[in-house]
Structure 1
Amino acid sequence: MKIGHLIRAERVRQDMKQVVLAKGICTPSYLSKIERNQIEPSEDIAKLLLERLGMDPEKFQESDEETEIEFEKMLLETYREVITERDLNFTREKLEYLEQNVPLFENDSLHYTYSLITFRFNMIVRIDSEKLKQEIELLEEFIDDFNVYQLYLFHLNKGLFCYNTGNVKMAIHYYELILHKLESLPLGEWEEAEFNFIIAVFYMADGHTFNSIDHARRALNFFREQLMMSRVLDCYILIGISYKRSDKFQDALEAYSKAMQISEEFNLHSEKGIIYHNLGTLNSAMGNTHQAIEYYKKSIDHKIDPSEKLITILSLIEDYSKTGEKDLVRDWAEKGITLYHQLDDENQISYFHHFSFYQSLHSEHGLSVEIAEAAIQHFKEIKDFRFIHKYCIALAEWYYNNRKYKLASSLYRDGIRYGYIYSKKEKWEDL
């Protein structure tokens, strides 16, 4: 009976150290061998370990080959349903079912597939990033034992994890490992379409406009054939964002208009929030600030998920800041900070720093150096060079206007340096 994977997964989930679990039962090194399925523990030791983890030993029974085949079929079908449905509550429901009904695999390979799929589900439901990091590091230890499909799932997950933690370049690295072998991988058409959509998002985030549009259109072709209209809508939004970032504003507007048309024809009214948001950013880029603000307000009204409102509130603040409407900047910054605290999601902490910076900048007393430095330090820690550059320049301007020229000079230099990194330039001659 291979129970090691179950013990390890639950121990990691509870953030329990090996030495804590092993104390009074076995040595940590013996536990490590159990978790790697290198040895089978006695019935007594297995029972004690499970009980310390709060698991009922009577619940787990050995599986036979037929049971494992059926479980694998169910697992892969569940994976397809979750990824194509894209419903958070549905994902939580399926994840809970899998975690509560996991068999004691005799087949290590099936355990790897189970672990890789449940890891993806955990990312979707936003499990703490530190726990996800621990789990992906544990999975990486078995990478030499993965089959072709499992290696695909691992790189897929590792890329998504990197993207979600702000490392876009590393995310692209893992997805390009898949891309080079995509045609030879045993994937369903829906998986290829999903892969193309995600790598299009990564490319867009890193400024690779042509690649982003190319892969988004590949995904769009499949989704349109399958009448998956919400995904078709997503592709048009992504294409519009890529066009906007390359200053092809009319092409961007056409893409957003198609997305809006689909939302109307297929009653996808919940998608209007993101369409209005992007129409706002497009008008802002075109210099139509007041029109942008109206679209942002419509976006906030239509968005259902409170966490999705954060980015639109930030965009609204930025445009009010450009027009010098200090009272409205402060009001919306306060609303953003309040919403951030209500969500109680540390993954959204960047928004807290954005809102605090603007609130301070437009306050009666002027920019707080402490708040500005905290924001800059945060974005340095997550390697978001765009906002390091942006807030260094803003703080430098503040110092300069207050005749603190030495400090201003230092911040300008920092801002320029990170601006080079963000724009992928090494020397001023490359500008």
Structure 2
Amino acid sequence: MNQDTLAVGICTTSYLSRIENGLVEPNEIVYQLLFQRLDLDFTSYFEKDSQQEQLIEQIYENLLSNETINEKELETLRLIYEQRTSPSLQIQVDLVYGRYLLSQECIEEAATILASLNDSLLPSDSREWQLFVATKTYYELLIGNYDAILNREFQSNSKFHLAKSSTFEQANYAYHLAFASHRAYQFSLAKQYIEEAIQLFKHRYKPLFQVKLYSMYGVILNALGQTDGALKEYHAAIELLEYVPTIATDNQWSSIYNNIAFTYESNKQFERAVHYYEKALAFKNDIHTRINYTRTLLFGEKKELFSKEIHELSKKQFSEGTHHHMQFLLMRAFEKIDTLESLDTFYKIEKTVFNYFSEAEHIELMLSYGPLVAKVHEEAKQYKRMGELYQILFETSEKMRQRISNGHHV
């Protein structure tokens, strides 16, 4: 049956086309008339649609909770996604499937789905927009596009549009806004969002998400210089891991101890920082913690251990152009500085690294390494470069101060 024949006396052909493409949701009477003309049972179709909607909502809930999706549910989701037999649900199916892909680190495939929906969805209370903004935010967190997250929230006020979703979904979104704000060095804004997430999550039992809230709140408090508050949050997370062993994975323990170590490192308590980095490495020998540990050995003047760690890191394969790789290059230059006939190599490396830190806006790393690098130039009587570095550090600390205090959008 062609569209004109099906639509006549019920709706316009263009409206029917929009229904078929999932762009509008007609009322039940229009559906009943269309189904009657097609000699189909609307009630059974509606029940099937309702069952599918419940399934994709359950899968989405499991994804947010980091819970396992069983093979049967996953196969059903794939079929609905690929066969596209539920036009009224298709956008929601696409987004939940995209969120699943992100959980499996299939970033490019998920990005294609999100890109196909960019121009067809506008901020609203619709379920489609709620799923879109939450999934897009999660994608942008994974690729490090924090400014895009904050700018979109400022322009669309999606927190308001999510108000009719579950409080757990709202808490997840607020948590992600806090994460993005922290990474964009907007610590006051991050504190506001994480406290909203904590308030929304009250009285719910999802221990893994609760650990994430404790950890993120601790990270933000430490960034604001509230060391005691940060340590209190981390120890609350440790208590929860001890009480709920099913979530106490090596990753969780390593993450918590790494955060505690960084808090002590930030306060120049290098002995304690080394202790907790070593505890973290005992659970997971990952490159991020290893770099943090080596940096603390450098700052804490543990020369013998530092040289040993640099030797071990030299055996690792680093991804080019990452902050881990740049930190390694700079630390290796520090380790070799006494054996160089001249300091030219050190100067070239530190300029390359600091240019990278500046372009990538790694403000904390610039402020951490800057004084030590400037001291090398001072001792070598390279006063011009020393002055340049102190100017860079002053401008960087001013930028940090402004971001901490203003809490506005990027």
Deviation at 1:149, TM superposition (A): 2.3
1:153 corresponds, among 131, 138, 142, to: 131
User: Conserved in 2, the CA contact under 8 Å of 1:243 and 1:251?
Assistant: yes
User: 1:381-414 CA distances to partner (integer Å, 9 max, x unpaired)?
Assistant: 5443444565666655545544444455445544
Q: Could you tell me the percent identity over the aligned residues?
A: 15
Q: After superposing the two structures, state which structure 1 stretch, 365-374 or 116-125, moved more.
A: 365-374
Equivalent pair of 2:374/2:390 in contact (CA under 8 Å): yes
SS in 2 for 1:225: coil
Distance in 2 (CA, whole Å) between partners of 1:394 and 1:242 is 25
**Conserved? CA contact 1:155–1:178, under 8 Å:** no
Q: Which residue, out of 248, 261, 286, partners 1:269?
A: 248
CA distance, structure 2, for counterparts of residue 132 and residue 215 of structure 1: 26
For residue 320 of structure 1, what is the aligned residue in structure 2? 297
Q: What secondary structure, in the 3-state scheme, does the structure 2 residue paired with 1:143 have?
A: coil
5 Å-filtered alignment, 1:19-418, equals 67-85=48-66, 98-99=77-78, 102-108=81-87, 110-128=89-107, 133-144=111-122, 148-176=126-154, 179=157, 181-182=159-160, 185-209=163-187, 211-220=189-198, 223=201, 225-267=203-245, 268-270=247-249, 271-303=252-284, 309-336=286-313, 338=315, 341=318, 349-363=322-336, 364-365=339-340, 368-387=346-365, 397-418=375-396
> Which stretch of structure 1 is more off in the superposition, 284-293 or 326-335?
326-335
Secondary structure of the equivalent of 1:292? helix
Q: Quick one: which amino acid aligns to residue 292 of structure 2? A: S
* Matched letter for residue 210 of structure 2: V
Q: CA separation of 1:82/1:162 partners in 2, compared to 1, >3 Å: closer, same or farther?
A: closer
Amino acid at match of 2:253: K
Distance 2:297 2:392 in 1: 26
CA distance change for structure 1 residues 173 and 409 in 2, over 3 Å: closer, same or farther?
same
Contact 1:317 1:332 in 2 (8 A): yes
Higher relative contact order (CA 8 A, sep 6+): 2
Distance 1:85 1:400, change over 3 A: same
Gaps spanning 5+ residues in structure 1: where? 1-35, 39-63, 426-431
Alpha-carbon deviation of 1:217? 4.2
**Cα distance change, pair 136–337 in 1 and its aligned pair in 2 (3 A):** farther
Contact 2:123 2:156 survives alignment (8 Å): no
Local SS of the residue matching 1:277: helix
Q: Distance in 2 between matches of 1:133 and 1:385?
A: 28
Distance 1:379 1:93 in 2: 47
Identify if the C-alpha distance between structure 1 residues 184 and 254 changes in structure 2 by more than 3 Å, giving closer, same or farther: closer
For residues 180 and 273 of structure 1, the distance between their equivalents in structure 2, rounded to whole angstroms, comes to 33
Question: Is the CA contact 2:221–2:227 (under 8 Å) kept in the aligned structure 1?
Answer: yes
Comparing 369-378 and 223-232, the one that deviates more:
369-378
Flag the 1:287–1:421 CA change in 2: closer, same or farther, 3 A: closer
Unaligned runs of 5+ in 2: 1-19, 23-44, 404-410
TM-score normalised by the chain length of structure 2: 0.71
Cα 1:337–1:378 shift into 2, 3 Å = farther
Instruction: For 2:356 and 2:188, locate their aligned partners in 1 and report how far apart those are by CA, in whole Å.
Output: 31
**Native 8 Å contact 1:389 1:415 kept in 2:** yes
Q: CA RMSD in A?
A: 3.9
Residues 410 and 249 (structure 1 numbering): CA distance in 2 closer, same or farther, change over 3 Å?
closer
Change (3 A) 1:246 1:352: same
Normalised to the residue count of structure 1, the TM-score between the two structures is: 0.68
Which secondary structure state, in structure 2, belongs to the residue aligned with residue 85 of structure 1?
coil
Contact kept in structure 2, 1:159 and 1:175, CA below 8 Å:
no
Q: CA–CA distance in 2 between the matches of 1:97 and 1:106?
A: 12
Change beyond 3 A, Cα 1:101–1:136: closer
* CA-to-aligned-CA distance 1:362-389 (integer Å, 9 cap, x gap): 2243664454344344445544344456
Following the alignment from structure 1 to structure 2, what is the Cα–Cα distance between the partners of residues 92 and 126? 18
